[in-house]
Amino acid sequence: MIAETRIAAIRSALEAAFQPEALEIIDDSARHAGHAGARDGRGHFKVRIVADAFAGQGLLARHRSVYAALGTLMQTDIHALQIEAKTPAESK
């Protein structure tokens, strides 16, 4: 998948799972060119997501829920993912 298609797939999966108030996805793959983990063609991404769904969840639970929402994209398209997951109250 090309970067735009990967970002669209990530966006679609996260919007379906969380109905976020805010969602920002940054393709950081270019900064990792030549990195051993990037050789398989998968990308490096940063995700900032704000959703009510994270209320009452700790950091680990939030990250696990994001990974679960992304499903097979984690094996096929995403090598590394930096996650910032907050509730609307925390993002203010």
What gap in Å lies between CA 45 and CA 29, rounded to an integer?
A: 7
Superfamily of domain 3-86: BolA-like (3.30.300.90)
Predicted pLDDT of residue 11: 98
Predicted pLDDT of residue 38: 56
pLDDT band (50, 70, 90) for residue 91: very high
For residue 32, the 8-state DSSP code is: G
The answer to whether residue 75 scores a pLDDT higher than 60 is yes
Helix (H) and strand (E) counts in the chain: 3, 3
Across the chain, the runs of DSSP E, i.e. the strands, are 22-27, 43-50, 78-86
The answer to whether residue 40 scores a pLDDT higher than 90 is no
For residue 53, the 8-state DSSP code is: G
Residue 60 structure tokens = 């680990």
pLDDT band (50, 70, 90) for residue 1: low
Average pLDDT for 28-47: 73
Predicted pLDDT of residue 4: 87
pTM (global) more than 0.75: yes
| pLDDT above 90 coverage of the chain, percent | 72
